[in-house]
Structure 1
Amino acid sequence: MAAIKKHKKLPRSFYNRDPLIVAPELLNKVLRCHDGRAGRIVEVEAYRGADDPAAHSYRGKTPRTEVMFGRPGHMYVYFTYGMHWCANTVCGPQGAGNAVLIRALQPIAGLDLMYAARPLARNDRQLCNGPACLTQAMSISKLQNGLDLVLGDTCTLVDDGVPPPEQPVRTTRIGLTKAADYPWRWYVDESAYVSKK
């Protein structure tokens, strides 16, 4: 697939808003890494600090959640189920503990590296169709926790001119026991790369 030719890094002001606004606007933006791997965001979930019992930051700042309370535009990476990494973007205002989980990508560049990182994937769809799959495919781990996406040293989020869908699908979040009824998940309706429709 062709590499991204035109792109614009998302400014800090993009992230410095309520996660319920940021999340659907992240759809069709591109997560790009310095080694050429890139994927279009097709599924996200919002987490809203003290207003959200499912958020890691709900009970306040801890060593694990410190990044969530920092400046918007940083990456919050956490370990789950004792085996998987998940990547989030921190949203403003600073101190709120908000984030948006990136749940699925459509691979668009560097697929050879993605397959090397995910040798069990049988096709392009399986490379990044879930939060743990995409971090494996993009080689995102605790090393990227706290990474400034605006400066974009290792990874960044860019706008390559594809707008968010006018009417994204909105559903409840997946795999939660707390606040499972909050409709804070969005995905691109026509995308075959969504983790679950």
Structure 2
Amino acid sequence: MGERQLTPAGGTVPLGREFFDRPAHEVAPDLLGRVLVYGPVALRLTEVEAYGLPGEDPAAHTYRGMTPRNAVMFGPPGHVYVYFTYGMHFCANLVCLPEGVGSGVLLRAGEVVAGIEIATARRSAGTGRGVPARDLARGPARLAVALGLTLEHNGLDACAPADGTLAVLEGEPPGADLIRSGPRTGVASGKETPWRFWIDGDPTVSPYRPHVPRRRRTS
């Protein structure tokens, strides 16, 4: 897979804040095919998951209200919410709806279209193994590593051109006939909600895995 050139025909215009000022389950499918750029690495989004409102969506980080950890989710739309999970991974979301609401879209997978060498070096660091191009950002934790996103980037504004560090470009959205939806991956609550969206047939989409309860050890 070669690097795609980000040309005007491919949509280099950043998405404005109004794009994200909508319910997450409406923003999510519209993010497919858009190009997320951070520094020298850019990727075309191929899989996302929407998470709903406090008190309504038990799978959302905001379900029980605002905390120091999820405060960015209650900020203005278009900002990036990065969190640390399982003691080893970072994951990135884009905040939706007006300030004070608390909703967003998890970025699950993408195709790296620029900065492939850098993304590959980040993903293979310490392993001594190469990483296939399709796997560079195939999954939310891999996506964060490929882009170089960590907790220090929590709160970055993707809609501030003057910032110059992060943007979501128009890209080339797929036709409606190529967008699929289904249950969200690995969530214990609200697992029937079909708010996972992906581009049908794209090799960078991560495999679906239902939540598996942890078994308690018995003595």
TM-score, with structure 1 as normaliser: 0.95
The answer to whether residue 167 in structure 2 is matched with residue 163 in structure 1 is: no
CA distance in structure 2 between the aligned counterparts of 1:94 and 1:17, rounded to whole angstroms: 11
The answer to whether residue 55 in structure 2 is matched with residue 59 in structure 1 is: no
Which residue of structure 2 aligns with residue 143 of structure 1? 152
Which of 2, 14, 19 is the matching residue for 1:14? 19
CA distance in structure 1 between the aligned counterparts of 2:173 and 2:135, rounded to whole angstroms: 24
CA distance in structure 1 between the aligned counterparts of 2:4 and 2:131, rounded to whole angstroms: 21
Where do 1:151-190 residues align within 5 Å? 151=160, 152-160=163-171, 162-167=172-177, 168-190=179-201
C-alpha contact (below 8 Å) 1:121/1:127 kept by paired residues: no
The answer to whether residue 143 in structure 2 is matched with residue 134 in structure 1 is: yes
Which residue of structure 1 aligns with residue 111 of structure 2? 106
Which residue of structure 1 aligns with residue 5 of structure 2? 3
CA distance in structure 1 between the aligned counterparts of 2:78 and 2:164, rounded to whole angstroms: 13
Q: Against the structure 1 CA distance between its residues 121 and 140, is the aligned structure 2 distance closer, same or farther, given a 3 Å change threshold?
A: farther
CA distance in structure 1 between the aligned counterparts of 2:200 and 2:137, rounded to whole angstroms: 16
Residue identity in the other structure for 1:109: A
Which residue of structure 2 aligns with residue 194 of structure 1? 205
CA distance in structure 1 between the aligned counterparts of 2:49 and 2:119, rounded to whole angstroms: 23
C-alpha contact (below 8 Å) 2:51/2:105 kept by paired residues: yes
Q: Displacement, 1:155?
A: 1.6
Residue identity in the other structure for 2:90: W
CA distance in structure 2 between the aligned counterparts of 1:175 and 1:114, rounded to whole angstroms: 25
| C-alpha distance after superposition, 1:100-159 (max 9, x if no partner) | 000000111100000110114531011000000010011011111000000153221111
What do you get for the CA RMSD once the two structures are aligned?
1.2
Where do 1:41-56 residues align within 5 Å? 41-50=45-54, 51-56=56-61
Q: Displacement, 1:70?
A: 0.4
| C-alpha distance after superposition, 1:64-113 (max 9, x if no partner) | 01000000000000001110000000001221110000000011110000
Which residue of structure 1 aligns with residue 132 of structure 2? 123
Farther off after superposition, 115-124 or 141-150 = 115-124
Q: Percent of aligned pairs with the same residue?
A: 43
Any idea what SS the aligned residue of 2:47 has?
strand
Runs of 4+ in 1 over 2 A off after TM superposition: none
C-alpha contact (below 8 Å) 2:111/2:137 kept by paired residues: yes
CA distance in structure 1 between the aligned counterparts of 2:110 and 2:121, rounded to whole angstroms: 17
CA distance in structure 2 between the aligned counterparts of 1:165 and 1:34, rounded to whole angstroms: 28
TM-score, with structure 2 as normaliser: 0.86
Which residue of structure 1 aligns with residue 34 of structure 2? 29
Any idea what SS the aligned residue of 2:117 has?
helix
Which residue of structure 2 aligns with residue 86 of structure 1? 91
Which of 15, 39, 44 is the matching residue for 2:43? 39
Q: Displacement, 1:5?
A: 2.3
Q: Displacement, 1:163?
A: 2.2
Which residue of structure 2 aligns with residue 71 of structure 1? 76
C-alpha contact (below 8 Å) 2:123/2:131 kept by paired residues: no
Query: Which consecutive residues of structure 2, in runs of 5 or more, have no partner in the other structure?
Result: 209-219
